[in-house]
A and B are shown apart, each in its own frame.
Chain A
Amino acid sequence: SQELEQSPQSLIVQEGKNLTINCTSSKTLYGLYWYKQKYGEGLIFLMMLQKGGEEKSHEKITAKLDEKKQQSSLHITASQPSHAGIYLCGADIRNAGNMLTFGGGTRLMVKP
C-alpha cells in the first residue's frame, strides 16, 4: 500500500467554488508539508504542520493536521484560476527530519 495517499487525484472546479484535498497516511505524520507545483516546474512551499490539531491559513488556503496526525487536508476558499496547479503533500513519516515522503499529487483545474 501507498505510504502517503492523496485524494482526489484530479479536480476540476468552477471559479469561486471551495474545494478540499486530502492527504492520508497509515503512519504518524511527524511533519506535514503542502506544496504547489506547476507542471514541469519547482515546488512552491505553502504550509508546514507539525502538531496534532494544528491549522494554518495563508490567503485563501487553509491546511489542517488531524489530532491523530495521520491525515491532513488543504482547503481552498473561493477558488481562482491562479490556484490551478498540482498540490503535493510531503511528510516526515520516519521522524527523520526533512527526509520527506510525497503523495502522488492532486491536479487542480479552475474553470473561469
Chain B
Amino acid sequence: AQSVTQPDIHITVSEGASLELRCNYSYGATPYLFWYVQSPGQGLQLLLKYFSGDTLVQGIKGFEAEFKRSQSSFNLRKPSVHWSDAAEYFCAVGAVTGRRALTFGSGTRLQVQP
C-alpha cells in the first residue's frame, strides 16, 4: 500500500521569502502525485499534479513541484510567498492500479509573517 510523509507539521516564512514544502512517498511504481491546499474550514483545492513526463510541474498561484524518483519526493516550491498563501498544504499519492482513492500526508501548516 502507498503512503505519504510530510515531515514538517508547521512552517513559518516571511512574506516575500521562498518556500519549500517537503513530501516523500512510498509506492512500488511511479504514482500519481498531487498537492492540495486547504484554507481554514474549507475544502481542498488542487494546486498541481504529476502523472508522467516533465518532472517539474507548474500549478496555480505560482506554485511548482519537482518529482524526484531517486528520492521518492515531490516537494512543493514557491519563489516568493504572499500573505494569502497561509493555509494547510497536503501532498497526496494515487495508485496507478487497484484502489483509486488518494492517500494523503498529514499536512503542513504554513504561516506567513508580514
A binds B: no
